[in-house]
A and B are shown apart, each in its own frame.
Chain A
Amino acid sequence: MTGGLANPLAARDHARAMAGTVVDAMPVLPPVAADLPAGVEPGDLLWEETVAPGGYATRRLVRGSRVRLIDLAGDACASMLIYNAEMPTERLNVADTVKVQWNGYLGAGKLLLSDMGRVMMSILEDGAATHDVFCGTSNAATNEAKYGEGRNSGAFPNGRDRLLLGSAKHGLQRRDVHPCVNLFKGTRIEADGAITPLVGPFEAGREIVLRAEMDVIVVLANCSHVLDPRDDWQVSPLRISAWRGPVTDQDDPVRCATPEGLRAFENVEDYYRR
């Protein structure tokens, strides 16, 4: 028995009294951001949310949307999946992303490619330069081995289970959760293939801005990098803002930067020719 909540109206009043509570990690509805870039109208803001350490967030975004991620305190790790929103069997393909661009490191001007030869998102600005396409995210076994447990219901959730829940919110299942990219936590590949993790912690406030080149579903998990060498579980909040923007035009420098990338944009433009 909880004193005073024995009838539905008392329970209702108790629940309603929570309204207006503000915590560090939560969505802001309607979205408000005091630091939008010059030229972005407040009315074009689509999404404003801070993801807790160990948390996840997901949203469908229309083509042209800009997505800004901020590593608020220097220890966020944004593991990201991307699906084609209208046909989620098309999704981010990390192998094609590195092979087609002849390079394994992400940064400004790089494209995130689907398994259908199309660019799903592009990176417009990158204040971090430490990212990782090779290692993927943690799973229940790796977190249990490292931190003692890794359950969604525990203190050290693993990235795969967070991405599974985020994908499930769109009706997707285990076989849909594909290899991810990690933003803000990086890796460097040595000459013999050895993987050196670059996990910081880094200076607070590093930003990356992406542009949706298709109508996409993004799923973001904020869990410690799978190769984070620190014994204790260290992650800090991840801030997400997104706003409306124009679809990439024919003269866009990212679109035209390489012949392979240009064909990835041409394939997107062909897909939307309807």
Chain B
Amino acid sequence: MTADPATGGLPGAVVHDEIVPARAPWLHHIAAGQTLRIIDVEGNQAVDFLLYADADDAERYSSQDTVAAQGNLFLRQGSVLRSNEGRAMMTITGTSVAYHDTIGGACSCESNTLRYGHHTKAQHACVENFLEANLSEGRGKRDMVPNINFFMNVPVEEDGSLGIVDGISAPGLTVDLRADMDVVVVVSNCPQINNPCNAFNPTPVRMIVAA
């Protein structure tokens, strides 16, 4: 039996391994101490990512608390993902991408009408994925908050100009996240085709959980 190089360096045995199809949602409960590895299988695929505390899902990922606590907008190795009550939810224990975004939020049918025009209203979007996954556990619109975009690049210029630009990820690059509490991970494998976040071609990503 040959070891799968995609599992190299994980801190424990693989307990879950799944390919998330292009454009699809994904929801998984991850226990404190377990590590989630996300693999950008084909490169430059934005992975929109939300977290809820398993014990009390009114506590959830907060981009604002996360960036304020680390004094920096970008998520890098060592970044602690914090909740709206300031607690550590997960920590980025390793990543082969220089940095990830948490200011750009998720695409939605509604924001697409602003960014691109009303002809995009009917296109599938990350908020649709987040809602579909969250509704399966009783969460809904009130539980939507600005998320993380792994493998997505949103630089901020000196005058405040910002935007989703060409990615800095590549095939096979990864991010490893250690759960600091029991969490619900909700992902949208981004279906956006109107900006460079998925290189205009949404592709699958792989989720591996090690315990």
Contact = CB atoms under 8 A, between A and B. Distances in A.
Interface of A: 89, 93-96, 98-100, 102-105, 113, 115-118, 134-137, 139-142, 160, 173-180, 189, 191-195, 226-227, 260-261, 263-264, 267
A193 B115 contact: no
Rank and list the top 8 A-B pairs by shortest CB-CB distance, nearest first.
Answer: A95-B105, A136-B64, A117-B110, A105-B160, A141-B86, A95-B146, A193-B74, A135-B68
B31 interface: no
B108 to A, nearest CB: 7
A267 B105 CA distance: 20
A136 B159 CA distance: 20
Nearest to B117: A263
Given A99-B104, A139-B85, 15 more contacts: A89-B141, A94-B146, A99-B154, A99-B163, A100-B111, A100-B114, A104-B160, A113-B111, A134-B67, A136-B64, A175-B143, A176-B142, A180-B64, A260-B114, A264-B114
B106 interface: yes
**Which of B110, B113, B114, B164 has the most chain A CB within a 10 Å cutoff?**
B114
B63 A179 contact: yes
B114 A113 contact: yes
Range for the number of chain B residues in contact with chain A: 35 or more
Nearest to B71: A195
Given A140-B86, A263-B114, A115 B108 contact: yes
A227 B156 contact: no
B145 to A, nearest CB: 6
Majority-rule SS of B interface residues: loop
A267 B161 contact: no
**Which of B57, B73, B104 has the most chain A CB within a 10 Å cutoff?**
B73
Given A102-B161, A139-B86, A142-B86, A134 B111 contact: no
B65 A136 contact: yes
A195 B110 contact: no
A254 to B, nearest CB: 15
A227 B71 CA distance: 8
B146 A193 contact: no
Contacts of B110: 115-118, 267
B58 interface: yes
Contacts of A175: 57-58, 60, 142-143
